[in-house]
Amino acid sequence: MLMESKPDKVLLHSCCAPCSGSVIEDIHKAGVALSIYFYNPNIHPRREYDIRKEENIRYAKKMGIPFIDADYDADRWFESMKGHEMDPERGERCSMCFEMRFVKTAEYAYQNGFDTITSCLGISRWKDFDQVTAAGVKAASLFPGIRYWAYNWRKENGSSRMIQIAKREEFYQQQYCGCAYSMRDTNKWRASQGRPAVQIGKDYYSLFAPKRPPLPERAPKNK
């Protein structure tokens, strides 16, 4: 794991159990003190938020890692994204969404004796790694002594281990990024493909699951 000096105490911003599984295992194995920070007011509706959070808590407990459950200030998220409702995924709204979550993470880190924050958001191939990193670096720079660990967790088979762990742990499998607008756009795309709308609480990873249908046409950015 690339970093000039080993961090003392890392606060990992986690969006969900599948994206954080291999990152948690990697940091834990490296012997670095780690806590998980769950601040995701973007996730809509509340039932989806609760399922994703409970899955993350379940895994944190299993690994014996402290889990910090921050507020669900969804009203503030909607207020902050005003004017960007129609932005595409990976557009300006996503940068604002990352920054909002990372600033809160960096603030908590600053107030609670952490020296480093990082995130598993960039492990998803649907995300732009550089966009996630820029938001993390910007957020950390607001708090003296806090740095953003910009490691690309997709490396060293991170992406495939992420799926292996998700299947092994039978994590909840979300069908859209998280916000109301991403659900709207996913449903639009699904309708164009003759597929059913997003169903909350339906899919779970499994070692025995049948092969999933092919992925959509929109090409993910791979780093």
Q: Which stretch binds ligand SF4 (CB under 6 A): 67-75, 90-98, 145-153, 192-200?
A: 90-98
58-67 long-range contacts, CB within 8 A, separation 24+: 58/17, 59/17, 59/20, 59/21, 59/24, 59/169, 59/171, 60/24, 60/36, 62/169, 63/24, 63/25, 63/28, 65/24, 65/28, 65/34, 65/35, 65/36, 66/35, 66/36, 67/35, 67/36, 67/38
Q: Which stretch binds ligand SF4 (CB under 6 A): 46-54, 148-156, 175-183, 186-194?
A: 175-183
Does the footprint of ligand SF4 cover residue 36 (CB under 6 A)?
no
Q: Which of 10, 60, 146, 177 binds ligand SF4 (CB under 6 A)?
A: 177
The C-alpha atoms of residue 127 and residue 119 are separated, in whole angstroms, by 12
Asked if 173 touches ligand SF4 (CB under 6 A), the answer is no
Stretch that binds ligand SF4, among 48-56, 63-71, 92-100, 134-142 (CB under 6 A): 92-100
The order of strands in the sheet holding 116-119 is 67-69, 33-38, 9-13, 116-119, 147-148
Minimum CB separation from ligand SF4 for residue 103, in Å? 14
- CB 171 → ligand SF4: shortest distance, Å? 18
Closest contact distance (angstroms) between CB of 119 and ligand SF4 is 11
C-beta of 84: minimal distance to ligand SF4 in Å? 8
Q: Is 56 in the site for ligand SF4 (CB under 6 A)?
A: no
Closest approach of ligand SF4 to the CB of residue 106, in Å: 17
Expressed in angstroms, the distance from the first to the final Cα of the chain is 16
Q: How far apart are CA 14 and CA 134, in angstroms?
A: 17
Would you tell me which residues interact with ligand SF4 (CB under 6 A)?
Answer: 42, 89, 93-94, 97, 177-179, 181-182
